[in-house]
Amino acid sequence: MSLHTQYLESFLRSQFYMLRMDGPLPLPHRHYIAIMAAARHQCSYLINMHVDEFLKTGGIAEWLNGLEYVPQRLKNLNEINKLLAHRPWLITKEHIQKLVKTGENNWSLPELVHAVVLLAHYHALASFVFGSGINPERDPEISNGFRLISVNNFCVCDLANDNNIENASLTGSNFGIVDSLSELEALMERMKRLQEEREDEEASQEEMTTRFEKEKKESLFVVSGDEDDMIITSDVSRYIEDPGFGYEDFARRGEEHLPTFRAQDYTWENHGFSLVNRLYSDIGHLLDEKFRMVYNLTYNTMATHEDVDTTMLRRALFNYVHCMFGIRYDDYDYGEVNQLLERSLKVYIKTVTCYPERTTKRMYDSYWRQFKHSEKVHVNLLLMEARMQAELLYALRAITRHLT
């Protein structure tokens, strides 16, 4: 993240606030919730980090034996953790009511909002961790556990200088530099054409709706990485229930009953932000700053080109993530997603966002081969924040419905 210092400052401010500053939840609980969230994606890197923090902040060591050792109240978060991580569109006000009205184990609304923010933050952060190749693998040589080794020899976290990753991957690939250069030129050309078309004609609302539905259905056929069932080790499985529950395409074949979440009906800016701020002071401002920061972050470059307006590309990345979670912007032309995001990039986005534990170095290398490593980290930041915002929108909408 330090390749993008402005963003990193904003990220650290909000993470520090939710973990360490005054808030509804006791400190050890915050770290335990982070562990539960990271475990949904088998993200050992984050689990190990928060196991240490949990103990340092006075957490009860016995809880680390698994969910059957924690208070019922924490255990009750299981359902919302699972849905938020994999199918947030299924969250209803009934899930919220169950948590806030369960007698002695009930959650207050401020506590629940704090927990939801932590869960969404750590689900999304797991996407960034896997997307950047920073997850340890179990080392068979060490009887009890982990060391940080690269996943598929893929660890970009120590690449302080910005260009050796893609150079290494380019020379090793059969594509050669010529192809990836022409790929870059073609993308620039498409951006220019779309900009011109946008100025010439406005698509009708019906046409916009059709394009969203088409993109949503097409995302079904973007198959992410290795579909084999992952083997979940006990140090991860002890923190989750129903490990087989995962992402299912919002637009499943033959299922038409799931309503699209119209972004205009419940936006972060007009609804989510004020609800979070009301129930858990100041975190709304910090999250808002972070969302804006990543959405507007630009150096006006694309690979070797300077003075490029990349707004269109950033918006396509953000909105494609929301499209896979069933969120639609009335004023956005989803035809742009198809024009701007090539198939290998869509596979990468879907994997990092929906099944981060399946991400491989090959996927990372296979899209935008001329782009700088820092630009691909920027993509990972956009995907992480878009995912976090999507989860929060569904959870906060359910809390709003519970309140009304």
CA separation, residue 215 to residues 211, 312, 342 (Å): 6, 17, 13
Summarize the confidence of residues 22-27 as an average pLDDT: 96
Count other Cβ atoms within 10 Å, centred on residue 307: 7
Q: Which percentage of the chain shows pLDDT scores above 70?
A: 80
Q: Residue 289: what are its φ and ψ, rounded to 5°?
A: -60, -40
- The answer to whether 368 and 182 have CB atoms below 8 angstroms apart is no
- Quick one: average pLDDT of 230-248? 79
* 43 labelled catalytic: yes
Q: For 282-360, where are the E strands, in sequence order?
A: 301-302, 305-306, 327-328
Catalytic hit among 43, 155, 157, 354: 43
Residue range 95-110: mean pLDDT, rounded: 91
Q: Over pLDDT 90: what percentage of the chain?
A: 53
pTM score: 0.86
Task: Specify the range with the lowest mean pLDDT, choosing from 14-23, 84-93, 126-135, 195-204.
Answer: 195-204
Alpha carbons within 13 A on the beta-carbon side of 174 = 0
Beta bridge partners of 147: 137
Distances (CA, A) of 313 to 57, 197, 290, 368, 401: 42, 15, 19, 12, 34
Using alpha carbons, select from 116, 105, 127 the residue that is nearest to residue 40.
Answer: 127
pLDDT category at 297 given cuts 50, 70, 90 is very high
Per-chain mean pLDDT for the chain:
83
Q: Give tens-digit pLDDT for 311-368.
A: 999 999 999 999 889 898 888 888 888 889 988 899 999 999 999 999 988 889 888 8
Would you say residue 232 has pLDDT above 80?
no
Residue that wins the pLDDT comparison between 181 and 269: 269
Q: Which of 116, 81, 86 is nearest to 402 (CA)?
A: 116
Report the C-alpha gap between 264 and 270 in whole angstroms. Answer: 9
**Under 8 Å between Cβ of 124 and 38:** no
Question: Could you please report the per-residue DSSP string of 149-211?
Answer: --BTTB--TT--SSSHHHHHHHHTSSSHHHHHHHHHHHHHHHHHHHHHHHHH----HHHHHHH
Could you report the per-residue pLDDT of 56-88, keeping only the tens digit for each? 999 999 999 999 999 999 999 999 999 999 999
Comparing CA positions, the residue from 42, 82, 32 lying closest to residue 233 is 42
Of the candidate ranges 143-152, 190-199, 250-259, the one whose mean pLDDT is the lowest = 143-152
Least confident of 120-129, 146-155, 215-224, 264-273: 146-155
